[in-house]
């Protein structure tokens, strides 16, 4: 008997789980769902699961750019020879302290990597190679990671696109997940995200306090990579709302209803008018669209006067069971037109619109507007300057219309100065801005800005020596135009794994000792100069690689 009782309870539990996490197909709205996640940093979402209406020819690239712009975010992208469109970084200012999940940290340690919270390329963006040498952005569609760039992946209705920041193993942390979570307890985020996106976009549902609280709790759980199904306690509330609460977008007379207007005798009270007793509503849920009947109506017209012949518009007033239906904020409602006849039974006089009275003319003379003034035509051949330091002069290819006066100035002459021919002369490393101004009498002055970034020169190959057990000494040339250096060493000559970095903060330091290495192992080393600037660092190109075998 006890055995059968346990079996019965197990079956009930299984049915409950299916009810809480059902599979469903959203209504055909030509939408996809997209999210931008940084769970590997312990910080949840940059953009929560969001429904986006698809356009003809949409790819993951176009959908991503549209959603980032709508959320006030921007991306750093390049064209990669292998994958085409490549997303390097996403704007994420004021990120704060990170809290890497334990299982991700274990994977990082297992790869002989370390987390460096100081080596951040641009603090305003979350970029590839931030925190670890293997970090970067990856995307999946319906939980599949394509082997092509985002511009080559077309998006279909119902797809779930997830951009996720990986810290190790080119997505090992994302694909394998937390090994301590059993298969039965793993969250199917793709399916759950469809419901979350529907709830989030439906303001009528989010206006309810219970649904709003449940949504916030579920987002916190889903943004945590160590969460399990059993942690998602409030999802049942959202799932019931998405599937069972119809959002009524419009209300109309029942099809075939003949009683849509009335003529009544003079003095007829509103309570004596025979109004329709039911209406039909168009409703939507996450899974379908349909209709519903609306009963218990009252009809209201605030200015109705039974002793004043005329034309009156009555609107329906009704209460909905919020467990079943919610009226959309801007839902259209039908109008029941009532005509009150004169005492002699004749139709009321037609409504004559009030005559349009022209506004009095201001006797003061009108001040004539100044004619529109055009701007001076000005172009520059170099939109940006982004090169490594070298003693050279750059032609900016400035062109302005005939007769215009041109002024060219640099905001930091220690980085770039301007010669008499309005050419840019490289003077040092760092960031600055060149301002080009063109002015001409009778026209508006035109100003163009050219951002300048001069990186340190490429370092020559370092010198290596291993004279003590488990140690090596690295030395390099001093770069007086740098503020420091970065050393990378690995047992992989292509630096694809087991990479570690050492940051040198003073440009006068040209030697360091690396300890706790593996005996009798060959290590590959490269070095680059860096320049500290406002908002981050500028790095020179890596030197060529040298290697050394560690002494036993």
In this prediction the pTM is 0.58
Whole-angstrom Cα distance, residue 285 to residue 117?
A: 45
What is the residue extent of each domain of the chain? 22-244, 246-340, 378-455, 463-549
- Residue range 353-392, pLDDT digits in tens: 778 878 777 676 666 665 666 788 888 888 888 888 988 8
Token pair, residue 355, equals 């005559």
What is the SS3 string spanning 3-32?
Answer: HHHHHHHHHHHHHHHHHHCCCCCCCCCCEE
Neighbours of 415 (CB within 10 A): 24
- Residue range 147-201, pLDDT digits in tens: 888 999 999 999 999 999 999 988 999 999 999 999 999 998 988 999 999 999 9
Structure confidence at residue 524 (pLDDT)? 95
**Whether CATH 2.60.40.10 fits 378-455:** yes
Q: What is the mean pLDDT of residues 454-462?
A: 93
Structure confidence at residue 28 (pLDDT)? 44
What dihedral do alpha carbons 515, 517, 520, 524 form, nearest 10°?
-100
Contact indicator for 175, 143 with CB cutoff of 8 Å: no
Structure confidence at residue 198 (pLDDT)? 93
Contact indicator for 248, 283 with CB cutoff of 8 Å: yes
**Whether CATH 3.40.50.720 fits 463-549:** no
Structure confidence at residue 365 (pLDDT)? 67
Whole-angstrom Cα distance, residue 537 to residue 122?
A: 7
- Residue range 281-336, pLDDT digits in tens: 999 888 888 899 998 899 999 999 999 999 999 999 998 887 788 998 889 999 99
Whole-angstrom Cα distance, residue 470 to residue 472?
A: 7
Whole-angstrom Cα distance, residue 527 to residue 543?
A: 5
Token pair, residue 74, equals 């921007």
Whole-angstrom Cα distance, residue 488 to residue 464?
A: 13
Q: Find the helix packing angle between 235-244 and 2-20, rounded to 10°.
A: 60
- Residue range 259-268, pLDDT digits in tens: 999 999 999 9
Structure confidence at residue 370 (pLDDT)? 59
Residue 447 has pLDDT above 60, yes or no: yes
- Residue range 60-92, pLDDT digits in tens: 999 999 999 999 998 888 765 456 778 889 999
Whole-angstrom Cα distance, residue 471 to residue 420?
A: 54
Contact indicator for 228, 271 with CB cutoff of 8 Å: no
Whole-angstrom Cα distance, residue 41 to residue 102?
A: 11
Whole-angstrom Cα distance, residue 240 to residue 245?
A: 7
Whole-angstrom Cα distance, residue 288 to residue 496?
A: 49
Same fold, 378-455 and 463-549: yes
- Residue range 207-226, pLDDT digits in tens: 999 999 999 999 999 999 99
Tell me the pLDDT of the chain averaged across its residues: 87
Name the residue with higher pLDDT: 472 or 257.
472
Which CATH fold topology does 22-244 show? Ferric Hydroxamate Uptake Protein; Chain A, domain 1 (2.170.130)
Residue owning tokens 């017209």:
301
Whole-angstrom Cα distance, residue 68 to residue 66?
A: 6
């Amino acid at each position: 008997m006890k055995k059968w009782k346990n079996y019965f309870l197990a079956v009930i539990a299984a049915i409950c789980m299916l009810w809480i996490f059902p599979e469903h197909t959203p209504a055909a709205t030509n939408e996809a769902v997209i999210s931008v996640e940084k769970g590997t940093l312990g910080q949840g979402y940059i953009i929560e699961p969001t429904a986006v209406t698809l356009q003809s020819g949409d790819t993951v690239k176009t959908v991503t750019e549209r959603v980032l712009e709508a959320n006030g975010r921007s991306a750093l992208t390049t064209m990669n020879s292998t994958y085409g469109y490549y997303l390097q970084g996403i704007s994420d200012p004021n990120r704060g302290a990170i809290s890497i999940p334990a299982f991700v940290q274990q994977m990082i340690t297992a790869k002989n990597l370390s987390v460096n919270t100081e080596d951040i390329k641009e603090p305003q963006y979350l970029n590839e190679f931030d925190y670890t040498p293997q970090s970067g952005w990856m995307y999946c569609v319906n939980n599949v990671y394509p082997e092509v760039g985002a511009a080559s992946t077309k998006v279909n209705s119902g797809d779930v696109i997830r951009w996720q920041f990986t810290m190790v193993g080119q997505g090992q942390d994302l694909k394998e997940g937390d090994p301590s979570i059993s298969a039965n307890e793993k969250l199917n985020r793709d399916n759950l995200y469809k419901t979350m996106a529907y709830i989030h976009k439906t303001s009528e549902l989010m206006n309810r306090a219970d649904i709003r609280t449940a949504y916030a709790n579920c987002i916190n759980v889903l943004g945590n990579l160590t969460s399990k199904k059993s942690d998602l306690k409030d999802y049942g509330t959202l799932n019931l709302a998405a599937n069972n609460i119809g959002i009524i977008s419009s209300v109309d007379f029942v099809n075939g209803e003949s009683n849509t207007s009335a003529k009544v005798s003079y003095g007829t009270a509103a309570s004596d008018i025979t109004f329709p007793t039911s209406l039909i509503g168009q409703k939507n849920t996450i899974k379908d669209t349909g209709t519903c009947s609306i009963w218990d109506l009252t009809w209201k017209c605030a200015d109705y006067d039974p002793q004043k012949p005329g034309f009156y518009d009555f609107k329906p007033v009704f209460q909905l069971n919020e467990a079943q239906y919610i009226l959309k904020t801007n839902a259209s409602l039908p109008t029941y037109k009532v005509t009150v006849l004169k005492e002699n039974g004749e139709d009321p006089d037609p409504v004559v619109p009030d005559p349009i009275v022209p506004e009095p003319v201001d006797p003061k003379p009108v001040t004539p507007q100044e004619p529109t003034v055009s701007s001076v035509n000005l172009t520059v051949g170099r939109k940006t300057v982004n090169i490594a330091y070298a003693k050279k002069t750059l032609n900016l290819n400035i062109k302005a219309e005939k007769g215009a006066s041109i002024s060219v100035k640099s905001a930091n002459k220690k980085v770039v100065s301007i010669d008499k021919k309005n050419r840019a002369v490289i003077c040092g490393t760092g960031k600055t801005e060149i301002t080009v101004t063109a002015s001409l009498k009778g026209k508006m002055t035109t100003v163009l800005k050219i951002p300048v970034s001069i990186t340190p020169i490429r370092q020559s190959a370092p010198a290596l020596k291993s004279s003590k057990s488990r140690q090596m000494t690295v030395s390099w040339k001093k770069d007086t135009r740098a503020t420091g250096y970065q050393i990378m060493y690995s047992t992989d000559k292509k630096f694809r794994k087991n990479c570690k970095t050492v940051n040198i903060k003073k440009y006068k330091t040209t030697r360091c000792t690396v300890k706790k290495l593996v005996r009798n192992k060959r290590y590959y080393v490269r070095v680059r100069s860096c320049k500290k600037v406002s908002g981050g660092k500028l790095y020179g190109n890596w030197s060529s690689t040298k290697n050394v075998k560690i002494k036993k």
